[in-house]
Structure 1
Amino acid sequence: MSMKSVTVVGAGVIGLSIAWRAARSGWAVRIADPAIGRGASHVAGGMLAPLSEGWPGEDGPLEFGAESLRRWPTFVSDLGADGLITARGALTVAFDAADAEDLRTVAEFVTARGHEMEIVSRRDVKSLEPAVSHNVRLGLLAPAELAVDNRRVVAALMTAAVSAGVDLTEDRVDDVSALGSDQVVLAAGWATARLCPSVPVRPVKGEILRLRARSGSPAGPTRTVRASVNGRSVYLVPRVDGLVVGATQYEHGDDTTVTVGGVRDLLADAERVFPGVADYEFSEAAAGLRPMSPDNVPLIGRVDARTVVATGHGRNGMLLAPLTADAVLAELDGSALPEATSASLERFSS
């Protein structure tokens, strides 16, 4: 009996995760992507932070993200690669009374749904993260959240996929019907809409910076640190050699140009949170296109008997990869994963 075959269109963290898991489950898998490993996953910050991003009324994103975060330790263990996790725990800080009240709102909403978060005083913020500015008024700690090195994750997934028998190709797919496999998974990020126009996903540009610590530079945060500065969100994610700082957000179509204004704002906001960052080396500025759905929940499900869609992960592709892979494998096997119900395509079927 011949193996069932599937073509995965897209080789970002979502497509690679699906391909790897499908191959391990007995599928003959081919990946088609002319830019393997060079898309939005290459630019990502690597935060796994669904709790810190919780907000009243947004139960779907919170629960989907929390369920995928729960799967990450096993996901890392199965990959068997070193150095993927770069930070444990996340700290969101407030500089004024309005932002402090927002932190209390998040804490109340998230903890009411059974997740651990803790409001911490200014003194405790400085104790947890001495590098953070003394102007902080309040903090919100999420001990369960993680951060990963996105590029190491992608590299590990590519290695694991090839080891499992996945055929990695740089083929460009313009017509799904021309593919010869039994099944097709469209995991091409925002470009999925070009192949399946009924899928409501759009590109949203995000700029991100990489800063490298020099000899003698002040030690940076050990956890992911997030804040709102002048109405703009900023996050600092630890890396072995420095920090990733992100991220801007623009509705600019498929433009991936890095702008002076974007870099200026990110650097200014990062210095407000961590003043010692001024001594770091400016290593890289890049922009990627996040695939956004209308309600910020992924789009996972069948569009026909042969085609499964997995897109719309926004800025949380890294976080949501394990749960998405499980959901797609269930679809390929003819069932649905209960934990992924909120990502069903049926919510936009009208």
Structure 2
Amino acid sequence: MVNDVKRVAVVGGGVIGLSVAWALAEAGFRVVLVDPDPGHGASWVAGGMLAPVTESWPGEDDVLALGAASLDLWPAFAERLRQRGGDPGLSTHGTLALALDSADVGTLNVLADYLRGQGRAVERLTGRELRALEPALGPRVRSGLNVPGDLAVDNRSLLIALRSACESAGVEFFPAAATGVRPGAVDLGSSTVDCEVAVIAAGAWSRTLHPALESVTRPVKGEILRLRARPGALPVPVRTIRAHVESRPVYLVPRADGELVLGATQYEAGYDTEVTVGGVRDLLADAEQVLPGIAEYALTECAAGLRAGSRDNLPLVGWLEPGVLAATGHHRNGLLLAPGTAASVVAMLRDGAAPEPAADPARFR
């Protein structure tokens, strides 16, 4: 049992760090969150999909299981957050997974067969049936899957609400960049933050804070665009759209205010956060095949973020050594896994629970 822990330092103020800090504070811990700019970083430029089913693929059973378990927590998590910090913009309209050519249809068939083998119901739809659901879909869309259980959230509303909830729960914010984490302290270069336990939740920068993370996590660059429907243009779709266009994945996530988030490229490019011309060109060209009407939209933002990838696409949530706990490596699924990760950290600190085996950092030792 480790319920004698009094002060916890959470390093990182993205969706994982804020969720963990809020959950720990509500569980009775004294919490300090160390981050120079909490509520931004990769979480600020995320798409907002909560889609473990349509993100799944054969051979990644553990990824699907972790994602589905955390998705089950999301409705209650969002409602509690709405009461404590603000509306996170949870959308329950579901997701459509689409295919445009014969190779893309084959990819979709593999996914559908895999999901059936996992006991998950999938609804196959023709292009005509899909356009009946979302009239703005283009004529090249040949077939798809309707996945009503895969949700979405407004990532920026979520981050604002989480920060407000943390402040209401008594989380202390320390606006500084950590240079290292060790038992009993978070190093800030010329000073330290003392604590009984430190939680490393710094996303792609976690690998720079502890030697156990250096070789098992890495930054993965992703570019996103934000579009807005102009007067006279077709409205944004109701559902989240995931598609394959000539084998390239593209997603379009609607916002309640008429905005559309478009992504995502994926590069192994170190800590480069510049948006490339080629990335913008490819995203717009592919998205226009799916929703031709976006040619009339305004392009309001281009941005790039750095996800924290791991060797096996599973997160690292567990002990690195006594007094140091990791909550990182969530790759594309940081928003999805935030409630589950926060609950796991609380259980480990309050109840002495063991880490989830699939996420335990010890698997790499």
TM class by smaller structure: over 0.9
What is the aligned partner in structure 1 of residue 41 from structure 2? 39
Amino acid at match of 1:213: A
Higher deviation after alignment, 79-88 or 307-316:
79-88
What is the aligned partner in structure 2 of residue 151 from structure 1? 156
1:304 Cα offset (Å):
1.1
Q: Are 1:6 and 2:22 counterparts? A: no
Q: Are 1:220 and 2:236 counterparts? A: yes
What is the aligned partner in structure 1 of residue 190 from structure 2? none
* Aligned equivalents of 1:83, 1:183: Cα separation in 2: 29
Say if 1:129 and 1:313 are closer, same or farther in 2 by CA, change over 3 A.
Answer: same
What is the aligned partner in structure 2 of residue 19 from structure 1? 21
Amino acid at match of 2:119: G
SS in 1 for 2:321: coil
Instruction: Map Cα deviations across residues 151-189 of structure 1 (whole Å, 9 max, x no partner).
Output: 000000000011000011212221323431111100001
What is the aligned partner in structure 2 of residue 282 from structure 1? 299
1:86 Cα offset (Å):
3.6
* Aligned equivalents of 1:86, 1:62: Cα separation in 2: 20
Q: CA RMSD in A?
A: 1.6
Q: How many residues align?
A: 348
SS in 2 for 1:51: coil
What is the aligned partner in structure 2 of residue 124 from structure 1? 129
Instruction: Map Cα deviations across residues 114-144 of structure 1 (whole Å, 9 max, x no partner).
Output: 3332111122111111111121111011110
Checking the alignment, whether the CA contact within 8 Å between 1:32 and 1:171 is kept in structure 2 is: yes
* Aligned equivalents of 2:212, 2:113: Cα separation in 1: 37
Query: Which residue of 264, 267, 289 maps to 1:272?
Result: 289
Higher deviation after alignment, 98-107 or 37-46:
98-107
Instruction: Map Cα deviations across residues 279-311 of structure 1 (whole Å, 9 max, x no partner).
Output: 001100000000000111101110111010011
Checking the alignment, whether the CA contact within 8 Å between 1:104 and 1:119 is kept in structure 2 is: no
Checking the alignment, whether the CA contact within 8 Å between 1:237 and 1:243 is kept in structure 2 is: yes
Query: Which residue of 84, 92, 96 maps to 2:89?
Result: 84
Q: TM-score, normalization: structure 1? A: 0.96
* Aligned equivalents of 2:162, 2:228: Cα separation in 1: 25
* Aligned equivalents of 1:264, 1:337: Cα separation in 2: 46
Amino acid at match of 1:112: G
* Aligned equivalents of 1:218, 1:84: Cα separation in 2: 22
1:269 Cα offset (Å):
0.8
Amino acid at match of 2:14: G
* Aligned equivalents of 1:129, 1:315: Cα separation in 2: 26
Query: Which residue of 310, 313, 316 maps to 2:333?
Result: 316
Amino acid at match of 1:341: P
Q: TM-score, normalization: structure 2? A: 0.92
SS in 2 for 1:315: helix
1:333 Cα offset (Å):
2.5
Checking the alignment, whether the CA contact within 8 Å between 1:87 and 1:224 is kept in structure 2 is: no
* Aligned equivalents of 2:218, 2:39: Cα separation in 1: 20
* Aligned equivalents of 1:2, 1:90: Cα separation in 2: 44
* Aligned equivalents of 2:228, 2:354: Cα separation in 1: 41
Amino acid at match of 2:242: R
* Aligned equivalents of 1:230, 1:3: Cα separation in 2: 53
